[in-house]
Structure 1
Amino acid sequence: CVCRLMRCVRCPVAYHVGDGCVAAGSVILTPHVIICSSHSSTRRNGHLSSPVNVGWCFVCSRGGRLLCCEACPASFHPSCLSMEMPDGVWLCPDCRVGKKPHYKQIVWAKLGNYRWWPAEICNPRLVPSNIQSLKHDIGDFPVFFFGSHDYYWVQQGRVFPYVESDRNFAEGQVGINKTFKKALEEAARRFQELKAQRETKEALEQERSTRRPPPYKLIKVNKPVGKVQVHVADLSEIPRCICRPTDERPCGQDSQCLNRMLQYECHPQVCPAGEHCHNQNFSRRCYPDTQIFKTPSRGWGLKAKQDLKKGVFVMEYVGELIDSEECRQRISHAHKNNVTNFYMLTLTKDRVIDAGPKGNLSRFMNHSCDPNCETQKWTVNGDIRIGLFTLCDIPADTELTFNYNLDCLGNGKTSCHCGADNCSGFLGVRPKKEEKVKNSKLKAKKRRLRSEGKQTLESCYSCGQDGELVLCDRKDCPKAYHLLCLNLTKPPHGRWECPWHQCSVCQCPASSFCHFCPASFCPEHESGQLALSAQDSQPCCTNHDPERVPRLPGPAHLSQSAVKEEPSEPGEDEEEMDEGDGDGERKGTRGKEERVAEV
């Protein structure tokens, strides 16, 4: 508990601040320092002297040969405790664990030759001043007797707890005077009042506890467990991009950074942009402002506290790095203990991230069949790590979700409550009509471009051949390319503009363009690079003859002599590229060198 404590200066005993926890009879020195009730000067053999033990067993309520506690009035038959009569000093179970009476507790108290009488333990600060001035020792506390409404000081050896069934104590008994009968009635009412107050307080504490997520240890990076290793690359093995520190947001989301396209994070000692590099989100932990909140039906979730643009890095998914064997053991142990929440995410073939015991705020992101975020595997300093990126523009105070798919282990066939229109009904099952929706969007985009009278997208602007193409994201630019023609192995990630918009010499924004190939030039390098064609007075670069430009665009990297070479036999050396990890709408198929040369 994180509550403040009151500590004894003479022993290790400590209590929470408040009448409900502090042992009655403790002397309060300061708001947080006390002398507990165990340090009374009237002690014998280390225990309070002269306890008045009851004449019946606390278990069966019958008399006989009883075993008496040396610190409180409790008495028992040894047989009721399944034990033999011990030798020497004996303490009851409550006294052995340090249980003591506390303030605002209803008890039975013994004063002189009077019978056991129902009373309430009072805080010394709340009793009349004449009662406060009565002589008493450390460990003594005042009690208020019901019926007679008298106060007196007693100690632990003369009180034992009142229980709810004690209100029927007077039934069937004769010779009970009116004062004692009145005391029983008042004690029963007061007991119910204190019980109701205690239950209300517990209900409020329970509600308050539900406002906080289950405990976990917050970590910033993955922590390997057991034999799992974290790979660290040598600086010579880390790829180097061609960005420059003078670029606008070098290596940023809208840049042409090769590392970003291939989902490699730049290293501060390798990247040419140095400290100006914007592709070090994992290492620098550049996370937007987020907040944990309680969802109506899916437990705890995570929402954005600021507007997020499409493709923005949200945060890294971190936790304990475990191997497959440890993963199986943890899932088996969880199932045996009826644990239903899992935070395991597949990293590589033999490594799994478990964010259950340790992790960051990403562990609170819920599943959705129509998510606004996605997981991406990036290479950071030679090791694979998982990041969460936005799939669309996200307004502030919107819940962040991603699709668990089949990479989230341990959930089995758990019902999905995401509420999306395409919800599959279960975690790990692909959403309904996902492929149809995706293909319809692609076809709609192509139809929209054709309806606006733009150039067809079915051929590569570099080689002129058909196939799977990468589309330019620049507005009003319909150009498309093969991956091979761009010298890429996988589709670029995020917003991508084709090379027609950058100078072929320095990659600065181009102002002069060849009408027949991707060659383009900035104002500094356009001198002597372009000439008007004789056919339609369109500018063409030195790779084309102005008198006889080809009807289809030719590859910018081939010379005129290469274009005139004889083609090889079709069907040779054809190789299909694997689909990349980037945008699913962007694919590439390697065309044949012979077909390029034939053009």
Structure 2
Amino acid sequence: MLPTVKPPMYVKIKTNKPVGNVRMLEPDHSNLTPCDCDPFSHQPCDSDSNCLNRILLVECSPTVCKAGDKCRNQRFEKREYPPLIPYKTDGRGWGLKTLADIPKGDFIIEYVGEVIDESEYKHRIDNKHNEKDQNFYFLTIDKDRMIDAGPKGNFARFMNHSCQPNCETQKWTVNGDTRVGLFAIDDIPANSELTFNYNLQCVGPDKKPCMCGAPNCSGYIGSKATKLVEEDKKKLRADLTKSGKKWKNRRGGGLSAWKMGVEECFLCGKSGDLIDCCNKTCPKSYHLECVDLKKPPKERWICPWHCCDVCEKRTSQRCSICTSAFCLAHSDGNLHFDSNQLLVCNKHSKAPAFLARVAGEYYRDILWGPHCRRLATSSCICN
């Protein structure tokens, strides 16, 4: 049934539109890399084909892919979306739901809007605060560009935040430029609402309350979803008591501020007393001795994954197995792709296959998530 109430006015667009000083990248076909997929297979370049471009989150270009129009890795350009419809939710404004079943991992829709730079972003944020408008539609493309789907956009702009979402944002390279898409992280039945975690960085003193209703809801959009349902809390307490592990309080305060001591060090994989990286988008924790520290630092500490091993400048490429990382000037010769197509440092160039595979799964499923190669967030500072 079609909705009887129409959503607020906005300009419908199918592709990103640059604003002001922003310029969209023109495709350079000489730099586009074809994959090695069999063009005569039934579904070339699909999810079961081990297409190298797809693995690296790169969309095949119809100008260079041997499969041509048969290629199944041109979903952004062809706008291969399932049937979607905006609808009025109960207490959470407008939302977006699917009219068809969506399998886990499937592409749903590209997030499009006006592409703006940092100065225009700050200007629009100031205007929203002055007008007391708490509806934000910003998603980061890279350090210089951001999408604002508020004035112009497509159905993706109606997707609500959830602390327990069924979709995620991924950044893909399409014809040489970065585009943002929504992908299913669960099997989603028809007539279900589509949600993703905004990972919204609080701008100003006020946090926006979260109304998602998920059992692990943090209470505010942008806060970590750490609250557990009561049964899970009791089970964790019992398991920790049996194993002799203790709960540790890193910030003080109530139960929601407690963090169970069941995390693992990113380097050695063992649990214990850990120090967290203070980069808001970084999920990694370490033993002091694993990062050559004798005592916890008094000031804000950023883990080695964000600093070039040579010059200590901001990194652009990182090893998939350890914290070795390099800026653009020093990555050449220090990082390369191994036989599993994982980016590794010289130290791990001959790592055992099982280690590379496990690290690759962790890197793709965990590290690319918070670090915005996969997830686009309004608080992205790692591009």
TM over 0.5: yes
- The 5-angstrom pairing of residues 323-472 of structure 1 reads 323-406=117-200, 413-432=207-226
CA distance in 2, matches of 1:217, 1:316: 16
Letter in 2 for 1:397: N
- Match of 1:486? 340
Equivalences for residues 187-206 of structure 1 within 5 A: none
Change over 3 Å in CA distance of 1:351–1:399 after alignment to 2: same
Distance 1:273 1:433, change over 3 A: farther
1:315-369 Cα shifts (integer Å, max 9, x gaps): 0000000011001111111111121211111111111100000000000000000
Amino acid at match of 1:362: A
Runs of 4 or more above 4 Å deviation: 407-412, 433-436, 577-581
2:69 to 258, 262, 275: 275
- SS of the residue 1:260 aligns to: helix
Query: How far is the alpha carbon of 1:211 from its aligned partner?
Result: 1.8
Q: In the alignment, what sits opposite 1:583?
A: 365
- Native 8 Å contact 1:344 1:410 kept in 2: no
Larger Rg: 1
- C-alpha separation in 2, matches of 1:294 and 1:263: 33
38, 59, 80: which one aligns with 1:265: 59
Task: Look up the equivalent residue of 1:489 and give its one-letter code.
Answer: L
1:228 to 22, 38, 46: 22
Separation of aligned partners in 1, 2:80 and 2:47: 13
Q: Structure 1 residues 412 and 355, CA, compared in 2 at 3 Å: closer, same or farther?
A: farther
- Kindly provide the amino acid, as one letter, of the partner of residue 13 in structure 2: I
Give the letter for the 1:322 counterpart.
I
The Cα offsets for residues 390-423 of structure 1, whole Å up to 9 and x where unpaired, read as: 0010000000000001369799510001011111
1:273–1:331 CA distance, 2 compared to 1 (3 A):
same
Specify the code of the residue in structure 2 equivalent to 1:418: C
**Preserved contact between residue 102 and residue 190 of structure 2 (Cα < 8 Å):** yes
Q: How far has the Cα of 1:255 moved from its partner?
A: 1.5
Unaligned runs of 5+ in 1: 1-208, 441-466, 470-482, 491-553, 556-576, 588-599
- Aligned partner of residue 389 in structure 1, secondary structure: strand
Q: Offset of 1:586 from its aligned partner?
A: 9.4
SS at match of 2:48: coil
Q: Which amino acid is the alignment partner of residue 338 of structure 2? A: L
Q: Name 2:45's counterpart in structure 1.
A: 251
The alpha-carbon distance between structure 1 residues 279 and 326, as it changes in their structure 2 partners (threshold 3 A), is same
Q: Which residue of 1 aligns with 2:35?
A: 241
- Structure showing greater relative contact order (alpha-carbon pairs closer than 8 Å, 6 or more residues apart): 2
Partner SS state of residue 374, structure 1:
strand
CA 1:289–1:299 in structure 2 vs 1: closer, same or farther (change >3 Å)?
Answer: same
SS in 1 for 2:365: coil
Letter in 2 for 1:328: K
**Per the alignment, in what secondary structure is the counterpart of residue 120 of structure 2?**
helix
TM-score (norm 1): 0.40
Name the SS for the 1:486 alignment partner. coil
C-alpha deviations, 1:126-175, integer Å up to 9, x for none? Answer: xxxxxxxxxxxxxxxxxxxxxxxxxxxxxxxxxxxxxxxxxxxxxxxxxx
What is the SS of the residue equivalent to 1:214? coil
- 8 Å CA contact 2:218–2:227 kept in 1: the answer is no
Whether the aligned pair in 2 keeps the contact of 1:412 and 1:427 (CA below 8 Å) is no
TM-score calculated relative to the size of structure 2: 0.61
How far apart in 2 are the matches of 1:411 and 1:274? Answer: 52
Cα separation, 2, equivalents of 1:487 and 1:388: 24
One-letter identity of the residue aligned with 1:488: L
Q: Does the aligned pair in 2 maintain the 1:342–1:410 contact within 8 Å?
A: no
Counterpart Cα distance in 1 of 2:32 and 2:340: 22
Of 71, 78, 89 in structure 2, the residue corresponding to residue 284 of structure 1 is: 78
Report how many aligned residue pairs link the two structures.
257
Q: Distance in 2 between matches of 1:292 and 1:410?
A: 30
Tell me, in whole angstroms, the C-alpha distance in 2 between the residues paired with 1:578 and 1:412. Answer: 38
